Amino acid sequence: MTLQQLAGVALPIIQAPMAGAQASAMAIAASNAGALGSLPCAMLGVDAMRSELMAIKAQTARPFNVNFFCHAQPTPDAKREAAWRASLAAYYHAFGIDANSIPTGPGRLPFSSEAANVLAEFKPAVVSFHFGLPSAELLALVKGWGSRIFASATTVDEARWLEAHGVDAIIAQGLEAGGHRGNFLSEDLTTQIGTVALLPQILRAVRLPVIAAGGIADAKGVAAALALGAAGVQIGTAYLLCPEATITAVHRAALKSEAVRHTALTNVFTGRPARGIVNRIMRELGPMSTVAPAFPLATSAIAPLRAKAESQGSSDFSPLWCGQNASGCKEVPAAQLTRELAGV
């Protein structure tokens, strides 16, 4: 089954959900252009989520996707937090930040029954999950109102697991992809492989439709993924320079610079590996740190450094999420980019 059949859209393209980088405006533009637009909810409280969903409903009658993270919230570990803050002490000192005044916060929230209650008012065509799936009860609730369930797999094992747990389509997320890796069965990064290697192996292992994600940046890339047997593609990085993206000025500038060609997986910003443009803090503390607290608890300690640096125009402490192939980034409206990606 194709993505078009699964989701009721005209084009084989999902505008990837990108928490912190876009909201309803991009989803609306992509959906109205014929793709499946996505609303990422990992960084939205339920009130913000409801107002974003109302905006989408008001501005498109087309299908859209609502996306959630499914991590288990870790128990805060005071010792680890202290060690993490100690490793940041020199930076706090340089910026005149009092390390004791930094609040600890949740950073990113997993799908919950509160979120499901709001979602039930909207019954989106597709609900997608990253980092596995929610509890069987919550999943049954979402399926009960008719949404199709998509979820990210980064290995063949994860694809099989998702199939066994009742998803409707698998998003094969290759190592090239920008943002957080969706891995949930293993933390061993040597299990992570590129899209062109991952897609055919997942296609062989499961019966479900498989969406290719990671490194796809133009119409030829889309055609190549479909030729390999993908039911559709999910594209994130290419949309980051569209005016609808809500990224910071320093992120935008980095995407337009030579620096964009060097990305790496890092856990220093959140505690989980995510791909971004290599910057100072990634070089000096990572890119993979053994001290960073569990996801998403690493976020709070970095936040004041990020804010201070950004206020001075510096991206030294900012997560500059970006995939390995930023060649498709264009400063054009998301609707136009969508049509170009689809070759229409």
37 binds ligand FMN (CB under 6 A): no
Shortest approach of ligand FMN to residue 50 CB, angstroms?
A: 18
295 binds ligand FMN (CB under 6 A): no
User: Which range, of 13-21, 45-53, 85-93, 224-232, touches ligand FMN by CB under 6 A?
Assistant: 13-21
Shortest approach of ligand FMN to residue 300 CB, angstroms?
A: 18
Residues 6 or more apart in contact with residue 181 via CB below 8 angstroms: 154, 173, 175, 189, 192, 265, 272, 273, 274, 275
Residues 6 or more apart in contact with residue 179 via CB below 8 angstroms: 16, 18, 19, 21, 236, 274, 275, 276, 321, 323
Half-sphere exposure of 244 (CA within 13 A, CB side): 25
Shortest approach of ligand FMN to residue 179 CB, angstroms?
A: 2
127 binds ligand FMN (CB under 6 A): no
Shortest approach of ligand FMN to residue 240 CB, angstroms?
A: 6
Q: Exposed/middle/buried for 215, CB within 10 Å: 0-12, 13-18, 19+?
A: buried
Question: How many angstroms separate the Cα of 47 from the Cα of each of 108, 115, 147, 270, 302?
Answer: 15, 9, 21, 23, 26
Shortest approach of ligand FMN to residue 195 CB, angstroms?
A: 8
Stretch 57-76: interaction string toward ligand FMN, x if CB under 6 A: ----------x---------
Residues 6 or more apart in contact with residue 194 via CB below 8 angstroms: 174, 175, 176, 214, 215
287 binds ligand FMN (CB under 6 A): no
Q: Which of 6, 9, 16, 335 is the binder for ligand FMN (CB under 6 A)? A: 16
236 binds ligand FMN (CB under 6 A): yes
235 binds ligand FMN (CB under 6 A): yes
23 binds ligand FMN (CB under 6 A): no
Taking the least distance from each CB to ligand FMN, the nearer of 91 and 267 is: 267
Shortest approach of ligand FMN to residue 313 CB, angstroms?
A: 20
Taking the least distance from each CB to ligand FMN, the nearer of 37 and 40 is: 40
Question: How many angstroms separate the Cα of 342 from the Cα of each of 25, 27, 71?
Answer: 20, 16, 33
User: Which range, of 97-105, 110-118, 298-306, 318-326, touches ligand FMN by CB under 6 A?
Assistant: 318-326
Amino acid at 209: P
Shortest approach of ligand FMN to residue 54 CB, angstroms?
A: 20
Q: Give the Cα separation of 146 and 159 in Å (integer).
A: 22
Contact (CB, 8 A) for 340 and 252: no
178 binds ligand FMN (CB under 6 A): yes
Residues binding ligand FMN: number (CB under 6 A): 27
Q: Give the Cα separation of 105 and 296 in Å (integer).
A: 9
Taking the least distance from each CB to ligand FMN, the nearer of 42 and 203 is: 42
215 binds ligand FMN (CB under 6 A): yes
323 binds ligand FMN (CB under 6 A): yes
Q: Which of 176, 218, 244, 316 is the binder for ligand FMN (CB under 6 A)? A: 176
Q: Can you name the residues that pair with 36 across neighbouring β-strands?
A: 14
Q: Give the Cα separation of 315 and 305 in Å (integer).
A: 10
Q: Which of 213, 230, 285, 335 is the binder for ligand FMN (CB under 6 A)? A: 213
Taking the least distance from each CB to ligand FMN, the nearer of 19 and 25 is: 19
Q: Give the Cα separation of 271 and 197 in Å (integer).
A: 27
Q: Give the Cα separation of 83 and 37 in Å (integer).
A: 40
273 binds ligand FMN (CB under 6 A): no
Interacting residues with ligand FMN (CB under 6 A): 16-19, 21, 40, 42, 67, 130, 152, 173, 176-180, 213-216, 234-237, 321, 323, 325
